Amino acid sequence: MLSVNTNMGAMVALQYLDKTNAELQSTQNAINSGLKVASAKDDGSTFAIAQNMRGNVAGYSAVSDSLNRGMSSVDVAMSAGQSISDLLIQMKQKAIAASDASMDTASRAALNEDFASYRDQITSIVSNAVFNGFDLIDGSTNQITALASADGMKKITVQAENMNLSGSIVTMSTGASITSQGGASAMIAIIQTSLNNVDSALARLSAGSKKFSIQADFVQKLTDTLQGGIGNLVDADMATESAQLQSLQVKQQLGVQALSIANTSPQVIMSLFK
């Protein structure tokens, strides 16, 4: 049927051209954004899964920050403990020298000056071993805790070590001296005990630091895996999109030509009235 009111050929051609234009727009969006699923409109279920995984990644980012802060606090405490251990070794050397019966009073007094300087330096190190508000060796805190899971429920804890003078680890008193032969001889055993205690405390702190480090490595690997999974869900295959773009551009051109041909069909009616 020839009609000037209804052109079925043009209507069908227009439907296919609209469909091609919609597909072309989708492909161009994928190329521009690099995502085949950029919004819920593209694929609601896939977008929801990807968003949930993105939430997990964000959670693990906070976990990683918490673990790094905890690890840094422990590392500062370990560095301070190592310095204290080195000072105790030097103090032991001074005490041994001062225990020599042939040492004169003036020389022993000079040794005691160095000894007292090292002793006071221990106090200074203990009070300055602070990171992020935590000092794990001055007795101000019992432990440091870091997040271990994205939901915040699981945590990793490392116990603090009190290295103050006159404590359970450094048993030497705040006024310890080696001004006499007898005092120097007795001080050797006290220093050795303190040295053993500090080294044991360092071993415990090291084990705690490794707990943080191991968990941090695991969290990083898990985050990488999740990000890879998100990419598999929503990232566009650019090679496929490029081929699709060229195909759709050809279809668009053919669609325009088909619509043009369909639109000329009513002109045949004019020949009936010549």
In whole angstroms, give the CA distance from residue 23 to residue 20: 5
Taking residues 69-98, what's their average pLDDT?
Answer: 96
Q: Which two tokens stand for residue 68?
A: 């790094």
- Helices vs strands, H then E, count in the chain: 6, 4
Q: Quick one: pLDDT at residue 32?
A: 81
Q: Other CB atoms closer than 10 Å to residue 47's CB: what's the count?
A: 18
What is the per-residue pLDDT for 266? 73
129 contacts 136 by C-beta, under 8 angstroms = yes
Is 7 contained in some domain? no
CATH code where residue 226 lies? 1.20.1330.10
The answer to whether residue 106 sits within a structural domain is yes
Across the range 87-97, mean pLDDT stands at 96
pLDDT for position 123: 95
Q: What is the pLDDT of residue 1?
A: 66
Is 15 a member of any domain? no
pLDDT computed for residue 274 by the predictor:
65
DSSP helix/strand/coil, 170? strand
Per-residue pLDDT band for 245 (boundaries 50, 70, 90) equals confident
- The reply to whether 159 falls in a domain is yes
Locus of tokens 């032969």 = 181
- CA distances (Å), 150 to each of 70, 96, 228, in order? 16, 54, 18
> What per-residue confidence (pLDDT) applies to 11?
85
Average pLDDT over residues 25-31: 81
Q: Is residue 180 part of a domain?
A: yes
For 143-198, the pLDDT digits (tens) are 999 999 988 899 999 999 999 999 999 999 999 999 999 999 999 999 999 999 99
pLDDT over 90 for what percent of the chain? 63
Average pLDDT for residues 69-88, to the nearest whole number?
A: 96
| Triad 267, 268, 273: Cα angle to 5° | 95
State the number of CA atoms in the 13 A half-sphere of 7 facing the CB: 19
Q: Distance between CA 198 and CA 212 in Å, rounded?
A: 21
Per-residue pLDDT, 85: 97
Q: Give me the mean pLDDT over the 51-73 stretch.
A: 93
- Long-range pairs, 186-189, Cβ under 8 A, ≥24: 187/91, 187/95, 188/92, 188/95, 188/96, 188/99
pLDDT of residue 272: 75
The confidence score (pLDDT) of residue 111 equals 95
**116 in a domain, yes or no?**
yes
- Give 2's pLDDT tier (boundaries 50, 70, 90): low
Domain count, the chain: 1
Average per-residue pLDDT for the chain: 90
For residue 42, tell me if it sits in a domain.
Answer: no
Q: Which residue type, as a one-letter code, is found at position 51?
A: Q
| Per-residue pLDDT tens over the stretch 253-269 | 888 888 888 788 777 77
Return the ∠ at Cα 161 (arms to 112 and 111), rounded to 5°: 5
Q: Please report, as a single letter, which amino acid is at residue 78.
A: M
How far is it, in rounded angstroms, from Cα 261 to Cα 16? Answer: 14
Mean pLDDT calculated for residue range 100-118:
93
Q: What is the pLDDT of residues 193-244, one digit of tens each?
A: 999 999 999 999 999 999 999 999 999 999 999 999 999 898 888 888 788 8
How far is it, in rounded angstroms, from Cα 138 to Cα 146? 20
Tell whether 95 is covered by a domain: yes
CA dist 128 and 33 (Å) reads 50
Domain membership of residue 115 as a residue range: 66-233
Strands (E), 84-163: 130-131, 134-135, 143-147, 155-159
